[in-house]
Amino acid sequence: MHKYFWKLNLFITFLFAISFVQLGAALPTVIVSVAPHKFFVNKIAGDTIDVYLIVPAGASSHTYEPTPRQMMHASQASLWFSIGEPFEKRAMQALQSHRSTLQIINLQQNLNLISHDHCHKGCCAGSVDLHFWLSARQAQIQAQTIAQTLTANYPEHAALYRENLAQFLKELQLLDQQIQEVFVNLQKRNVLVGHPAYAYFCRDYQLNQYSVEIEGKDPTPQQMTKLLSLVRSFETRTIFIQPQYNNKAAQLIAKEIGAKLVTLDPYSENYMITMLEIARAFAAQ
């Protein structure tokens, strides 16, 4: 890993000198790590900035490493809205060695975070669950952080950012209400997932998340036996999986208990649609 980033540093050194010529007088570039935050920034910034996504569709932010080409593009950025993944720190160090003015904005700030005691190691950096965009309520705080940062850096667009933020907050509040309505008469509130990405979502709507993956790995035979006993006790017939993972253990459990597999993508950029899809899928299981 260290060798990879040493080579990456050399690559950035070479490309940094020519990137200004290549990109010309383009819009200011802002980096986001995951697609939902690209949606957030675009909602607030409109066409005033270029939002550059690091983790592409279909990839997991827990294991992703940026490519040299991505780092070249990212070398032009003035801001990075980070979530706390390990790869971010390594990439940021490489970028800041050539662009010391790059600002790192941690989107965890001011959030009601879920601790390691309530999530799996495979989804946490240190002691925090990192899927905090999967809460329409916590998303409002993230949107405010983004708007405040953009306003401070690009004050000429302050009025636009203020107006767009107000509209986005209304949309997120409506989304929260719509999801609450989906669950209003729900009896079965246990949710079985391949990868435990939904802790914030489940906290908001009084659901119980159970994961096939344990501490970032497939369950051992002993853990599998215990998990099978548990899921049979609440008679689940659905396991929710993600395209970012191989889901082999989830497939085995589904076959064993006669459950169906339903694919959801919490990393989708279509944030509003995806959140409602998650809610309706959980309610319909």
The answer to whether residues 197 and 262 belong to one domain is yes
User: Are both 149 and 173 inside the same structural domain?
Assistant: yes
Residue 117 banded pLDDT, cuts 50, 70, 90: low
* CA 163/CA 169 separation, integer angstroms: 10
For residues 184 and 187, what is the distance between their CA atoms, to the nearest angstrom?
9
Indicate whether 28 and 93 sit together in one domain: yes
**Average pLDDT in the chain:** 88
On whether both 152 and 186 belong to a single domain, the answer is: no
Which tens digits make up the pLDDT trace of 244-272?
988 999 999 999 999 999 999 999 999 99
15 and 123 in one domain? yes
CA distance 59 to 144: 27
> Based on the number of CB atoms within 10 Å of its own CB, is 129 exposed (0-12), middle (13-18) or buried (19 or more)?
buried
What CA–CA distance (Å, rounded) separates 254 from 238? Answer: 8
Of the candidates 150, 178, 206, which is a domain's last residue?
178
Contact 70, 54 (CB under 8 A): yes
Over pLDDT 90: what percentage of the chain? 66
Token digits for 269? Answer: 């950029």
CA separation (Å) from 196 to 26, 43, 165, 241?
A: 39, 27, 30, 9
Q: What is the DSSP letter of 261?
A: E
| Domain match, 110 and 28 both | yes
Reported confidence tier of residue 30, pLDDT bands at 50, 70, 90? very high
pTM beyond 0.85? yes
Final residue in a domain of this structure, among 178, 196, 219: 178
Domain CATH number, residue 134: 3.40.50.1980
pLDDT score recorded for residue 116: 61
Same domain, 199 and 144: no
Q: What is the pLDDT of residue 146?
A: 98
- At a CB cut-off of 8 Å and minimum separation 6, what does 114 contact? 128, 129, 132, 199, 200, 203
* Contacts for 74 with CB less than 8 Å, ≥ 6 apart: 29, 31, 52, 54, 66, 80, 91, 95
Q: Which of 134, 157, 178 corresponds to the end of one domain?
A: 178
Position with higher pLDDT, 277 vs 120: 277
Segment 44-89, tens digit of pLDDT: 999 999 999 999 887 888 888 888 888 888 888 999 999 999 999 8
CA-to-CA distance for 30 and 264, rounded, in angstroms? 27
Asked if residue 109 and residue 190 are part of one domain, the reply reads: no
Structure tokens at 55: 């983790």
Q: Which strands, in side-by-side order, build the sheet including 103-106?
A: 50-53, 29-32, 77-82, 103-106
CA distances from 242 to 59, 87, 136 (A): 10, 21, 20
- Structural domain harbouring 75: 2-178
Strands 128-129 and 124-125: antiparallel
Residues 168 and 72 in one domain: yes
pLDDT digits (tens, 9 = 90+) for 271-285: 999 999 999 999 998
Same domain, 126 and 56: yes
The pLDDT value given to residue 60: 86
**Residues whose CB is less than 8 angstroms from the CB of residue 147 and which lie 6 or more positions away in sequence, other chains included:** 44, 161, 162, 164, 165
Number of domains in the chain: 2
CB 108 within 8 A of CB 84: yes
Q: Say if residue 161's pLDDT is above 60.
A: yes
Provide the residue type at 227 as one letter: L
Whether 212 and 123 share a structural domain: no
Do 7 and 122 sit in the same domain of this protein?
yes
- The answer to whether 178 touches 142, Cβ cutoff 8 Å, is no
